Structure 1
Amino acid sequence: MNTADTSHEHIRTPYEQARKGVVEHALRAAEVPLEHYVSPPLPTLRWGTPAYAVFAAPAVRAPRQPLRVDTPDRWWAVGITRPRLLVYALVPVAPFSDAPPGGPVTVAPSGRPLSAVREDQRLFDALMDRALPSFLAGSPGDPTVRGDLAAALALVLPRECRDWSLALTPDFYAWLER
């Protein structure tokens, strides 16, 4: 009989697993400087196949100072149904939007404790799991779930970086804001 306490074990949700896979992809270590800010992966159908897309931008982090994020300089997408790298591009070579992204931005500290930030991410992950099938099917899904997901996204993605995220995944934002 195993009497070990397993209450500390964490079971990852499907989106959480995908998020970690996209952000921790070998590409991240090989091509993206460690100090870069990496956006949360958001779903998109822009390239004809379901994918999670992220952008990365040079960032300056200093103790007791706000995060300073420069204009994104690269982006990539990983397939949702088959988690493989679909595209990696440097923005000067292949921009992710017709409109050049502005920058740099200063991200105001949230002042929230780390436990609250982690809970925000957990909630976002769970809501993404609930909403993703509807998005991928082109269905509006549950408006309450979409509203809750939009509110949770505002907690995990700095508002100062929203325009870049919107430019990268406009179809997801259009669906979210139905």
Structure 2
Amino acid sequence: MSNVKPLCVDLDGTLIFDDMVPKSIYLLLKKNIFYIFLFPFWMFKGFAYVKRQVAKRVEFDPASLPYNQTLLGFINQQRQLKRKVLLVTASDQLIAEKIANFLGIFDEVIGSDAVVSYSGVRKLKKLQEKFGVEGFDYAGNAYVDLKVWAGSHEIIIVSDDACLIKKAEKLNKRVTVFKGI
């Protein structure tokens, strides 16, 4: 397994059939609606800052999330083969770490911080800095992931979107498809 590329897995819509950003905002406002008045001030520092402020204040139970059981099975198979597995997400690092700690299947977590939101090209650059061009396999679910797949070694799609699958196949890489939402 020494020449096997690390498996990088997206969170929102891929590992879980949910999106932690709107879910976290909802949970925060449910906890205290008056947080709504802080959002305009947070937005002046960018969306990554908003996500960090929400993540610092919100509580959630990772066991209650709708996990993609098929993908979890695949990840566990890869772990048994001693493959390195990372959770790589545009969701905030604090939220991603809580989920990763609950699952106990990730070697590393790369999430957004108060400055950078790791989505699309930013996620690709981060992974290429760490593993090199085509130095990783990537599991994602959305059109924004096409940018990451373009620089990955192997494509893993968690979606039923035929158009997305077709676009990914045009990247001329090995494509594995898992059922989406």
TM-score range, shorter chain: under 0.3
TM value normalised by structure 2: 0.25
TM value normalised by structure 1: 0.26
Which has the larger share of helix? 2
Q: Which has the higher contact order (CA 8 A, sep 6+)?
A: 2
